[in-house]
Amino acid sequence: GKQWDVVVLDPPKLCPSAKFLKPALRKYEKLNTMAMSLVARGGILMTCSCSGAVTRSDKFMIMLNNAAARAGRDVKILRVSGASDCHMTSLRYPEGNYLTVITLM
């Protein structure tokens, strides 16, 4: 199939609360496996999660590793980030730190 040099995967919120973490991670893994298959060798995948429960679980990287294995890819992390500097979060409201953006090659 057709492959691309750059793929951006920015799905809607898949995990409304920690109660839904396991099924959400399965969905993220399936989506990321498909996205990795669409990236040409040497290309870039920017993958995102706007689900706070996923961000705070620290399981997003594990899921990406599983997706890479399923896609037969050896991916490298280029950058891990979140919201831009203009999207400040309060120490009193850690739930505001919900955006995860990981750029892979």
CA distance 43 to 33: 15
Distance CA 25, CA 14 (A): 8
Is 48 a residue of the active site? no
**Given 15, 48, 50, 86, which residue is catalytic?**
50
Question: Which residues does the annotation mark as catalytic?
Answer: 50
